[in-house]
Amino acid sequence: MNNTKKGMIYIILAAFFFAAMNVFVKLAGDIPSIQKSFFRNLIAAFFAFGILVKNKEGFKYHRKDLKMLLLRSIFGTLGILCNFYAVDHLLVSDASMLNKLSPFFVIICSSLFLKEKATTVQKISIIIAFIGSLFVIKPSLNILNNINSLIGVLGALGAGIAYTCVRQLGKQGVSGPKIVFFFSCFSCLSVVPYLIFNYQPMTLSQTAILICAGLMAAGGQFAITAAYNNAAGKDISIFDYSQIVFAAILGFVFLNQIPDLMSIIGYVIIILAALFSYLYQRRKTVEL
C-alpha cells in the first residue's frame, strides 16, 4: 500500500473519531468550551506519553523542529478553541460548515509554504465536496455577518495551518506520537490559567462523557497526524468530508437525529466527489 492510500485511510479514520468526539461533546451538556478542549487534549497527551515510553522514543526534540512544532501547537490550539466557541455560540450547522473550510486552507497553505501544487481535478473535487457539505448543513444566509462566525472561520484557518505544519514535520522525520504529545501538552497548559479561575464542577456522568470525548479526540489526533505524515494535503483533504456522513450516522444512533432529503443529497455528492478524486489519483499513480 502506497503512502497516499495510507493517508486516505488515516484521514477517514480521523473523520470518524472526530465525529464521535462531537457527539460526546454534545452529550456532555453546558460546560465551558475551554474546559471541554482541556479534556479533549489531556487524554491525547496521556496516550502519546504511553506510546513514546513503549516505543522508547524518548522526549527529546531537535532544535530544528521546535519552530514548526510551536506553530502547529499554537494554530492547532487556536483552531480548537475557536471551533468550540463557534459551536457554543452559533447554530451547530453553521459552525460545522465553517469547520469544513479547513481542507481549503490546507490546500492553500500546502501550496504556499510546501510547494505542493493541487491539480485542476483535485481543486474541482474539493469544490464539489464543499457544495455537498452545504446541502448537509444548510447554513444561514447571514453566517459571516457577526463576530461569532468570523471566529469560526479563524478556527478553520488555524486547523488548516496546523495540518500543514504536521505535513512538514512528517517530512522532517518527527514521529506522530511526538507531534501529538507536544501539541496536547501545549494545548492543555495554555488553558490552565483560565481553568484555575473559571473551572465548572461536573457530574460523574459528564466527566465520563468528556473522557470518552478525549479518547475519540486522541484517536483522531493520531489518525490525522498519520494521514498528513503519509500524504500531501492536496491528495487526501477531500476525504475529511466523510466526517459529515459519520456525524449523521452517529447522530441518528445516539441523538435520534434523522437527516432530511437535502442532507441525503449532500451525502451522495460528497461520496461521489471523494470517489472521483480517489479514482483520478489511482489512475495517475498507475500511469507513473
3-state secondary structure of 177: helix
Whether 13 and 223 have beta carbons less than 8 Å apart is answered as: yes
What is the per-residue pLDDT across 182-224, written as a single tens digit (0 to 9) for each?
999 999 999 999 999 889 999 999 999 999 988 998 888 889 8
Q: Judge residue 121's burial from the number of C-beta atoms within 10 Å of its C-beta, 0-12 exposed, 13-18 middle, 19 or more buried.
A: middle
Q: How far does Cα 66 stand from its chain's mean position?
A: 22
Confidence (pTM)? 0.79
Other beta carbons within 10 angstroms of residue 58's beta carbon come to: 9
Q: What is the mean pLDDT of each run of 10 residues along the chain (288 residues)?
A: 85 90 83 88 89 86 92 93 80 71 77 76 81 76 66 88 88 87 93 91 92 89 84 77 83 79 83 79 65
For residue 211, how many C-alpha atoms fall within 13 Å in the half-sphere facing its CB?
8
Show me where the domains of the chain are located.
Answer: 3-115+143-237
Please choose, from the candidates 129, 136, 132, the residue with its C-alpha nearest in 3D space to the C-alpha of residue 251: 136
Residue 257 falls in which region: left (phi positive, over 0), alpha (psi -120 to 50) or beta: beta
Whether 18 and 216 have beta carbons less than 8 Å apart is answered as: yes
